[in-house]
Each structure stands twice: as C-alpha cells, then as structure tokens.
Structure 1
Amino acid sequence: RRTRFKAFKSSGTSGKNSVRTIYKAEVRKEGDNIIIELTGNGFLYNMVRIISGTLLDVGLGKIKPEKIPEIIESKDRQRAGRTLPAHGLYLVQVVYN
C-alpha cells in the first residue's frame, strides 16, 4: 500500500513527495545482533534510520506497537522514534525492475 511517510523523513529532506511503499519489514535477532530488514520501492533521506529508531523504541517499551499506524497517519516527525546513527546500517541489495 502506498503510504505517506512524512513522519519518517528528516526535516532537511528535499522534495514534497513522501509517498513510498514498504513491501517487507522484518525484525529478528541473530546472535548478539538485531536485524531490521526493510524492502520498499524507495526510501526518503534518513527514513530507514528513523524507522529503525522507532522499532528500537517499540522494543524498549517506549512506544506501543499499536501506535505505529497513528504515527504514520500523523505525518509528525516528532511522534516517531529517534534517528539512529549510520554505523551498523548496511545496504544489502538494490533491485531494479
């Protein structure tokens, strides 16, 4: 489903179009690591880092999981989680159709 991810973009993001489609969002633990896998048709500047920070806050009990749709609908960056630092973030694959 095409969704406006305005709550998950950095304030310095250029362009007005924040509509993207997330096809897959998976969180799993592998040893001492937490893997967050996101698949979509494109991502806004810092979007993956903000989504990851929000999911971390869910895991820490700071945000209730059922609040995620409300955060998306609010289009309010302040309601989403923190922007995680870039280290530890890896681009695994890019696919073009």
Structure 2
Amino acid sequence: MKTHYPYALDIAAMKEAMHPFIGTHDFTTFSSAKGEIKNKVRTIKEFKVLETNDGFDFVITGTGFLYNMVRVIAAYVLECGRGIRTPDTLNMIAAKDRTVIPKTAPAEGLYLEKVWYKNVKVVMKTLTL
C-alpha cells in the first residue's frame, strides 16, 4: 500500500533535511506527545529516499523507534520537500518540543521491513509514497 502525496517535491531539500538525523539523538520533537517512554534517545543508522517508478521510498534504519517517530520525521521531511519548511533538522531535534513539528504522516505505506536480533538489534521502517 502507498500513500498518495499530491505535491511536487524537492529531493535535494529532503536529503538535506534527512542527513542530520543519522546518529544518536533525543527524538522528543519527533515522537508522539502521548508516548509514555521517558528515554527518547535513539540511533538512526541510515536514512535515505529512493526514487522508484511508482514514487518515492523513504528507508530509515535504526536501533529502535518511538511511537509515531517515523511518521513525524516523514511529515517534517515532506514539508521540507514541498518548500513550506526550511531544512533545520538539528535545531528541530535540539528543541525537544513536539509542538514544533505538529504534523504526522499517514500510516498508509509505512511498514516494518526487517528486524535483526543477533549482536545489534536494528529495525528498518519504510514509508512508500
């Protein structure tokens, strides 16, 4: 299943917004305000956008994800791609304030692709638009 996104996207702006997510950060800004988990530090190992014949795939690989984290990140990156938000990822992460990124991308098209359990636990989520 895919999510329909009816706007033109600037891939360069999206990649600019995506790159600073790689690494270990407190993802309070990019998690659900309803989440009960206190420690919101997670590590993103990879974040890329792939252009396909059908649209775009966002691939995020990390050591774990918070509730709605990938959907909030995707909404932010898409707003950067539309030009309605300037990529300012490090300041968004540093804000630790969920209200600075009020949107959440729809769940359609989001799926868990793979989980690794040996040595390092890493999960990958993909959002297909």
Q: Normalising by the residue count of structure 1, what TM-score does the alignment of the two structures yield?
A: 0.92
Deviations 1:42-97 (A, max 9, x none): 000000110111111110011212x1110000011121261111111121111112
Instruction: Count matched residues.
Output: 96
Deviations 1:18-45 (A, max 9, x none): 0000010101211232111000000000
Q: Which runs of 5+ in 2 are unaligned?
A: 1-22, 119-129
* Residue in structure 2 matched with residue 95 of structure 1 by the alignment: 116
Q: Does 1:2 align with 2:24?
A: yes
* Residue in structure 1 matched with residue 103 of structure 2 by the alignment: 82
* Residue in structure 1 matched with residue 69 of structure 2 by the alignment: 47
The amino acid across from 1:59 in the alignment is G
Identity of aligned residues (%): 41
Deviating beyond 4 angstroms after TM superposition, the runs of 4 or more aligned structure 1 residues are none
Q: Whole-Å Cα distance in 2 between the matches of residues 39 and 19 of structure 1?
A: 15
Over aligned residues, Cα RMSD in angstroms? Answer: 1.2
For the residue of structure 2 that corresponds to 1:52, the secondary structure is helix
Change (3 A) 1:36 1:81: farther
The amino acid across from 1:70 in the alignment is N
Q: Whole-Å Cα distance in 1 between the matches of residues 102 and 60 of structure 2?
A: 16
Q: Which runs of 5+ in 1 are unaligned?
A: none
